[in-house]
Structures are given as structure tokens and as C-alpha cells.
Amino acid sequence: MENRAAATVDLRLEQARRLLDQDDLGLDALGAAVGLSPTHLQRRFRDQFGLTPAEYRAQRRLAALKRGLRGGQSVTHALYDAGYGSPSRVYEDGAARLGMPPLAYGRGGEGLEIRWSLVHTALGQALVAATERGICAVALGDDAAALERELRTEFPRATLQRVDSGRDAFLAPRLRAVADALARKSGSVPVELVGTAFQLRVWQALMRIPAGETRSYAQLAASLDAPKAARAVARACASNRVAVLVPCHRVIRGDGTPGGYRWGLPRKQALLASESLSSHAQTKGRA
């Protein structure tokens, strides 16, 4: 009987998701449409999909806005087609998630100034890129040309300026902070996170995992009050652009194996080993 009731709720949640894909329904209207109370729907929907209905609706609007802008629509047409009620709403909501005004995003980052450089770190070569608000990308790799191509693909029309790390007063301290973070030295640097509402929640949760500790995808999902969203958490980790500063390397599989890593499994293993050793040394020193 309990299994049948749970299956019925799952079907209603899936129906709610499909309705949100088709229409901009509020929580009360959505609950009435699928036969669940608003409170119950809110809680179970978040458990199932990792987002509240409102966050899911906002994510769908943002995805539609991106498609419209990339497809050449004007901002006005794209925002109304995506379901935004006014230009002010799209700039308030969209800019917070895109990391730039929607028009700039639609033009491939046109008008955005990004300074970047390569720096040698404890894990090898890293490309570090920053806007005026903070670090927007840290990529690890052995091929400098491939790292640059990746950045240019992400922001094809931004003003990308490669600078000498030692001569640029703006970027130099940020490069040092990234190098220190990879070498397990203390320090901090502002980070600009650009993603969906759920991705931002996951990345912020990653930054709360202490160095020397790990979490499974399921544990991280549970910490977000979304215990059934382990796969969505894994996708958000894989979408992280800011290596080490947003420590997706601290998330492993439930069986204790390291799992994947955007910048290569050997680097993930090296990071975890270094953090574990450093944490053990600090604990021993306090004893």
C-alpha cells in the first residue's frame, strides 16, 4: 500500500514538472492541478528534482532566454518569449545567474572584459580568468592552446586580454591566490559563479566542505534537502568552471572511489592526497 501511494505521488510530481515546462504556474495553481497541497508539493518536488517549483520555473525561463539570445532574438523578444513579465525582471533575475546583462550574454559576452593568464602551480599549468567582480574560470591542463580555446568558446565576443601575471596589478594577486590554493596555502579570492539556481546551490555547498574531507554525491544532495537529486548534483559538479576554489574534487562516489573529474582523475587524486596529508599534519600539530 505504501509503495503504491509513493508511486502515485511520483507520478503527480512528474505531472507537475511537465506542467511547469508548458506554463508559468504558481505553487497554489500547480498543487491544485496535480492534487497535492502546496506545502507537500513544495517539499516532495524539491526532494525529487533538487529544486523548488519556483526555482525549476526560473531555470526553465533562463534556459529559454539563453536559447533566444543565442538564436539572434532581441532582448525584448527573447525575454517575453521566455516568460519574463518585464525587462526589469529579466535584468534582475538573469544577470544574477548569467554573470552579465542578458544582452551581453546573447552577444557572446560582448562588452565584458576578461583578463586571463597562465600560471604554474603545484598541479601543473592553470589558466586563470577574471572579470572585475572576481575569478570566473580556473582551468587545469597541459595544453595551453586548448585552455585558451575553451575560454574563447565560452566568451567569443568578450574583450579577452592575456596579461603578464607579474605586471598586471589587477590580476597578479588573484593569480597568486589561485596558486596558493593549489599549493594548500591560506588565502582567499573573490569568485564569480555563473550558473543556474541549482548549480549555484551545489557550488556554494562544495565551498563549505572542509579541506581534507569528502562527501558523496548522495550526501551533498541530502545537505541541500534534495536527497533524490544525486545525479543532478553530479552534473552540477561536472559543470563547475572554477577548479579548486570551488572544490568539486571533494565529492566522491558512494562506494568511496574518486569518480570523475573535469580536469583529469590524477589531478583529483593529487588534490585529495595533498589535502588529507595537510589536514592530518594540522591535527597532529594541535594534539
Question: 126 with 243: CB under 8 angstroms?
Answer: yes
List the grid coordinates of 5.
501511494
Exposure string of 243-258, with b = 16+ CB inside 10 Å and e = fewer, is bbbbbbbbbbeeeeee
CB 178 within 8 A of CB 189: yes
Question: Is the separation of the CB atoms in 211 and 63 below 8 Å?
Answer: no
**Do the beta carbons of residue 20 and residue 60 sit within 8 Å?**
yes
Beta strands in the chain (DSSP E): 113-121, 124-130, 135-140, 159-162, 215-216, 251-252
Active site annotation includes 136:
no
Q: Which helix (H) or strand (E) segment is 195 a member of?
A: none
> Which is catalytic among the residues 181, 248, 251, 271?
248
Of the candidates 132, 130, 124, 122, the one whose C-alpha atom is nearest the C-alpha of residue 165 is 130
Q: CA of 215: how far to CAs of 53, 205, 218, 258, in Å?
A: 26, 10, 8, 10
Beta bridge partners of 160: 114
User: Which stretches of 23-72 are DSSP H helices?
Assistant: 27-34, 38-49, 53-70
Strand, coil or helix: 278: helix
Q: Tell me the sheet residues that pair with 118.
A: 127
- Round to whole Å and give the CA distance between 229 and 226: 5
Which sequence positions are flagged as catalytic? 248
